[in-house]
Structure 1
Amino acid sequence: MAEIPLPPKINASLLRQAQRAFESALGADKVFFEELDRISYQDAFAVDDAAHLPSGAIAPTSVEEVQAVMRIANQYGIPLWPIARGKNLGYGGTAPELSGSVVLDMSRMKKIEFDEQMGTVVVEPGVGFYDLYDYIQQNNLPYWLSTPGNSWGSVMGNALDRGVGYTPYGEHTKKICGMEVVLPEGDVVRTGMGAFAGAPTWQAYQFGFGPSWDQMFVQSNFGVVTKMGLWLMPEPESLMGMDVEFDSPEDLKAMVDTIGPLRREGILRQNPSIGNWLRAAAVLTTRQEWTDKPGALGDDVISAIRKRFNIGWWGVSLRLYGREDVNKASYKILEKAINDISPMSIKPTTWVKGQPMEYTGWTGTPMTFPMQNVNWYGGRGGHIGFSPILPQDGDAALAQFKRTYDRYNEWGMDYQGSFAFGERHLTNVNAMIFDKDNPEMMGKIDPFFRTLVADAADNGYGEYRTHLDYMDLVAKTYDYNNNAMRRLNEKVKDALDPNGILAPGKSGIWPRKLRGEREA
């Protein structure tokens, strides 16, 4: 392994002293500074394996140990990079933004506290979606999770990075209610009603009294969240819906303009995601089964793949949740609206409580099979995501698709894209799948990504989250009033973290002493 560069003003002697202090405070079995440890915490999907290298890792098991870690890091000036379970693959995984940082691995903190009456849960960072799902099943609790497409990560970590799922509770960050946070200098604060000692309403009311801080700890480096409250969806009486395929790329406009009003009206309460043919096919087959030609796939190959799997150019799954009578009435509205735009196929689905359930993301079941898409090209597969926010408008979506699709063809990459609905917005998720054993392909990824960021910025669109490599680049595109938001973030950063030890560079937020590390 190459020598790991240390940040400015940190030397190997200070790092060794900090390591001994960590071992004294936590025990040697929670401190990891061997070469294999450092390799284990690198980004498995890194575009550049020489970037974002950790010096080591520590794994506390309690809030008191997190406080002790903070005090030691401040004493020796050691930057920390908190992770929950480190499964945010495609965005950096376990690796830190600033090389030389020590990973604060909280995957061993796994407590679950469930309020069955209110349908709320308090989780620690290490609680994964499978952990919480098993807890609900084992205790026969009448609630459903909302799970992301790859569900092996942290419930808390996903919500803190604004991850999404498939049910009506799919905008996970909106379901946060109350946090316990260790601030950079070691103080512990509880947000919302948790600021009232002993309040029984910590997970019932999101705001408390005075400024509301929960969202300030989302995608930031202002504190380490050690507990988080979340609202869960009561198990519905019934589920109805349809899986719909459309034949032409141009159908995207009609799909957005039809589904969007149903979402805004509340007929659809979940967050549908329109995905292209490769999103479906990449988990069923690999590229080498179809061609060995370089460059983006031609229409002939795309047509052959679609024919074998009987899939459209675009597909979308639409679901209705709640009382059966209400769903039946809503389904008639949904069915007419979709038929009016001439789909290629409609496959209805129904479920009533007591019947066998389909174990999918639509029923809050954790899953990992979508990660199969990284095997598309063969070799050591990986991906990163480019995901700008768009208005919920068919013309805007189609124009964004055509721009992006042209760029994929220009750069010789196969296009996997989707348009996920919020209540008022679309998230255009574009996956750049790659083979890490293909040097020519890997050489394209960085300039290709930067081209997409520039294209989107030219049209007024910014990403909602991004890979470590591009946090400064994306933060820079949020440029209103000379990047006033970045300046505000840095004022808060310097006030809460005067020594600049917590996650330097996260979301483009750098502490004063390390702002020279920012990408120009």
Structure 2
Amino acid sequence: MSILLPTGMNSAAFDRALGDFRRAIGDPWVLSGEEDRQTYIDPYAMGDGLDHDCSAILAPGSVEEVQAIIRIANQHKTPLWPVSRGKNLGYGAASPKEKGDLILDLSRMNRILDVNEKQASCLIEPGVGYFDLFRYLRERNLPLWMSVPGNSWGSVIGNALDRGIGYTPYGDHCETLCGLEVVLPDGSLLRTGMGAMMGAKGWQSYKYGYGPGWDQMFMQSNLGVVVKAGMWLQPEPEMTAKITLALPRFDDAAWALDILCDLRRRDIIQHNIVFGSPVRAASTMSQRADWYTGPGALPDGVSQQMMAKLGLGWWNAKISLFGDEGSVMAQVALIRRLFEPRLGGPLQFEIWKRGDPLEKSATGIPTTMGLQSVNWYGGRGGHLSFAPVLPQDGDMALAYAKKIKAYYEEVGQDYYASFTIGRRHINNVSLILYNRDEPEAVTRVDKLYRHLLKEAAASGFGEYRGHISYMDEVAATYDFADGALARLNGRVKAALDPNNILAPGRNGITGRAHGGDRP
């Protein structure tokens, strides 16, 4: 590793900028040494990760320091890459899209500013992680539950802003945000919703305020730095019931998806439902070499052995039910009527009642167990996710899954897939596991991802979230009216951030002077 400068800067200009940053936030919080920079390289990068290396890291401790950093960055034209905690694993972690950008690390801003038990809401800073909030609620014995993603290492706000999900009734995390405080690209401060009123009492109670609602403008964008956010929490229910359905055949996906999607649309099941392939479950508790050491993709016969030994189906669907005892037990009875005749036996639900140990419940308990999957191939493991959005149609989803499974096998990649069922959509999550120390694996992963993106777009399915190495390619698939959405994003970016300071190129968004707009 050597000294790296932001694009267009010489060393003297960069030193002047770093000096100004040090005076604004303190010398210990401006990190430019080689060892510091190495700690921010994506731990799952395909290869050495240096194509997304940063030039320095800035770690403010307050809103005022964020404002000062952004004003200085405008003065010196130093691009910033904001991260909440830098744990967006599988999408690039803390690394910037464009090599040489300075990372704006908000993890020191980790205060839980308010939790309102009666209103079931909280106000937090971006450095607050899932374990932090969970511990806060449990230590105070508050009857409030939270939703967590499959890997709960990251920022509560950061995950919501990137439209991450969990698996409780509050699992659409961006939908639970209510009231943002944002530093704009010129360093000025904004509050959305009711927070636009001084002394507002309902900032975390009503999202929209008066006039246009701007919250979505700051999700998956580079139009501001969110420094506070309100979030709704789930009041503790009287009862939960949970079960994992093991569906024995690959083709069971069609009928099972149609049933589960109908239950989700009618809010009988109130959460994002996930069911996944055998490798999805096995990769968190074993390695590939425990099952197969031969060439090519994992044979179906080995998957069958895996299923038999671990008690898995070809698809394994996790379902949870929440509410009062009467409604939960009625929903249990309905699911039994729908699935027991097809699966050929009685279903056993795990029931939790208020007062039982929380671990038995269907609440969101933070975990990093899912990270075990990156060790599947051994070596320095990594993962990359491709998750296009499909309509809720079981036959369509099954046909697409067959096509994708065949291509995984063609290139020699083990098929790791799951379907995530939302209110009106399905995400077909194709996870790509690899050993980043194997050049052949890295080449295969890149080829596979690009094929998946092309195949999905040709089928009319759009990716909802992008890795830093593929953001431009994902954005280009949203091509209606010759890319009208990209041009709109470019015009807004150019108006708010004429110096292209905040996260240049994030999700394909760049300003007019940088190619984001055309006459």
TM-score bin, normalised by smaller chain: over 0.9
Q: Which deviations, in whole Å up to 9, do the C-alpha atoms of 1:233-266 show, x marking residues without a partner? A: 0011000132110111100001111101111111
1:345 shift after superposition: 7.5
- CA distance in 2 between counterparts of 1:459 and 1:177 reads 35
- CA distance in 2 between counterparts of 1:142 and 1:38 reads 41
2:473 is equivalent to residue 473 of structure 1: yes
Q: Is the alpha carbon distance of 1:5 and 1:513 closer, same or farther for their aligned partners in structure 2, counting shifts above 3 Å?
A: farther
1:5 shift after superposition: 5.9
TM-score using structure 1 length: 0.97
Corresponding residue SS for 2:428: strand
User: Counterpart of 2:15?
Assistant: 16
User: Counterpart of 1:178?
Assistant: 179
1:343 shift after superposition: 6.2
- CA distance in 2 between counterparts of 1:399 and 1:456 reads 12
1:205 shift after superposition: 0.3
Say whether the 8 Å CA contact 1:247–1:343 is kept in structure 2: no
- CA distance in 2 between counterparts of 1:244 and 1:457 reads 31
- CA distance in 1 between counterparts of 2:272 and 2:464 reads 16
Say whether the 8 Å CA contact 1:22–1:31 is kept in structure 2: yes
2:288 is equivalent to residue 287 of structure 1: yes
Q: Is the alpha carbon distance of 1:71 and 1:428 closer, same or farther for their aligned partners in structure 2, counting shifts above 3 Å?
A: same
Equivalent residue runs for 1:60-79 within 5 Å: 60-79=60-79
1:335 shift after superposition: 1.4
Corresponding residue SS for 2:470: helix
Q: Which deviations, in whole Å up to 9, do the C-alpha atoms of 1:244-303 show, x marking residues without a partner? A: 101111000011111011111111111110111111111111111122212101122111
User: Counterpart of 1:241?
Assistant: 242
User: Counterpart of 2:502?
Assistant: 502
Equivalent residue runs for 1:430-469 within 5 Å: 430-469=430-469
- CA distance in 2 between counterparts of 1:514 and 1:16 reads 25
2:219 is equivalent to residue 218 of structure 1: yes
2:35 is equivalent to residue 31 of structure 1: no
- CA distance in 2 between counterparts of 1:259 and 1:299 reads 26
1:2 shift after superposition: 4.9
1:516 shift after superposition: 8.8
Say whether the 8 Å CA contact 2:491–2:512 is kept in structure 1: no
User: Counterpart of 2:44?
Assistant: 45
- CA distance in 2 between counterparts of 1:94 and 1:373 reads 20
Moved more, 435-444 or 150-159: 435-444
Equivalent residue runs for 1:99-248 within 5 Å: 99-112=99-112, 113-248=114-249
1:448 shift after superposition: 1.2
Identity %: 46
Corresponding residue SS for 2:490: helix
The letter for the 2-side match of 1:369 is: M
User: Counterpart of 1:296?
Assistant: 297
Q: Is the alpha carbon distance of 1:322 and 1:516 closer, same or farther for their aligned partners in structure 2, counting shifts above 3 Å?
A: closer
Say whether the 8 Å CA contact 1:245–1:344 is kept in structure 2: no
- CA distance in 1 between counterparts of 2:289 and 2:392 reads 36
Q: Number of matched residues?
A: 516
Q: Is the alpha carbon distance of 1:319 and 1:516 closer, same or farther for their aligned partners in structure 2, counting shifts above 3 Å?
A: closer
- CA distance in 1 between counterparts of 2:341 and 2:217 reads 43
1:4 shift after superposition: 3.3
- CA distance in 2 between counterparts of 1:339 and 1:92 reads 42
Q: Is the alpha carbon distance of 1:294 and 1:516 closer, same or farther for their aligned partners in structure 2, counting shifts above 3 Å?
A: farther
- CA distance in 1 between counterparts of 2:272 and 2:411 reads 31
Q: Which deviations, in whole Å up to 9, do the C-alpha atoms of 1:24-74 show, x marking residues without a partner? A: 111001110001111111111112423111001010010000000001100
Say whether the 8 Å CA contact 1:26–1:60 is kept in structure 2: yes
1:515 shift after superposition: 3.1
Q: Which deviations, in whole Å up to 9, do the C-alpha atoms of 1:123-166 show, x marking residues without a partner? A: 10100000000000111111001000110100000000011001
Corresponding residue SS for 2:356: coil
Say whether the 8 Å CA contact 2:389–2:464 is kept in structure 1: yes
User: Counterpart of 1:394?
Assistant: 394
- CA distance in 2 between counterparts of 1:12 and 1:334 reads 65
User: Counterpart of 1:422?
Assistant: 422
Corresponding residue SS for 1:451: helix
Say whether the 8 Å CA contact 2:491–2:516 is kept in structure 1: no
2:382 is equivalent to residue 382 of structure 1: yes
- CA distance in 1 between counterparts of 2:416 and 2:219 reads 27
Corresponding residue SS for 2:515: helix
1:342 shift after superposition: 2.6
The letter for the 1-side match of 2:449 is: F
User: Counterpart of 2:55?
Assistant: 55
Moved more, 62-71 or 36-45: 36-45
Say whether the 8 Å CA contact 1:359–1:365 is kept in structure 2: no
Corresponding residue SS for 2:350: strand
- CA distance in 2 between counterparts of 1:433 and 1:235 reads 36
The letter for the 2-side match of 1:45 is: Y
Moved more, 39-48 or 472-481: 39-48
In structure 1, runs of 5+ residues without a counterpart are none
1:512 shift after superposition: 3.0
- CA distance in 1 between counterparts of 2:83 and 2:372 reads 24
User: Counterpart of 2:348?
Assistant: 347
- CA distance in 2 between counterparts of 1:12 and 1:41 reads 21
Corresponding residue SS for 2:208: coil
Corresponding residue SS for 1:17: helix
User: Counterpart of 1:278?
Assistant: 279
Q: Which deviations, in whole Å up to 9, do the C-alpha atoms of 1:467-512 show, x marking residues without a partner? A: 0011000000000101111111111101110111000000100123
The letter for the 1-side match of 2:216 is: Q
- CA distance in 1 between counterparts of 2:321 and 2:346 reads 19
Say whether the 8 Å CA contact 1:312–1:344 is kept in structure 2: no
The letter for the 1-side match of 2:276 is: G
Say whether the 8 Å CA contact 1:392–1:425 is kept in structure 2: yes
1:446 shift after superposition: 1.1
Say whether the 8 Å CA contact 1:494–1:511 is kept in structure 2: yes
User: Counterpart of 2:266?
Assistant: 265
Q: Which deviations, in whole Å up to 9, do the C-alpha atoms of 1:405-438 show, x marking residues without a partner? A: 0111011011111111110001111110000111
User: Counterpart of 1:313?
Assistant: 314
- CA distance in 1 between counterparts of 2:235 and 2:143 reads 6
1:349 shift after superposition: 1.2
Say whether the 8 Å CA contact 1:270–1:319 is kept in structure 2: yes
Task: Give me the CA root mean square deviation.
Answer: 1.6
In structure 2, runs of 5+ residues without a counterpart are none
TM-score using structure 2 length: 0.97
- CA distance in 2 between counterparts of 1:19 and 1:233 reads 44
- CA distance in 1 between counterparts of 2:343 and 2:300 reads 22
User: Counterpart of 1:329?
Assistant: 330
Q: Which deviations, in whole Å up to 9, do the C-alpha atoms of 1:434-469 show, x marking residues without a partner? A: 001111111111121100000000000010101001
- CA distance in 2 between counterparts of 1:340 and 1:57 reads 58
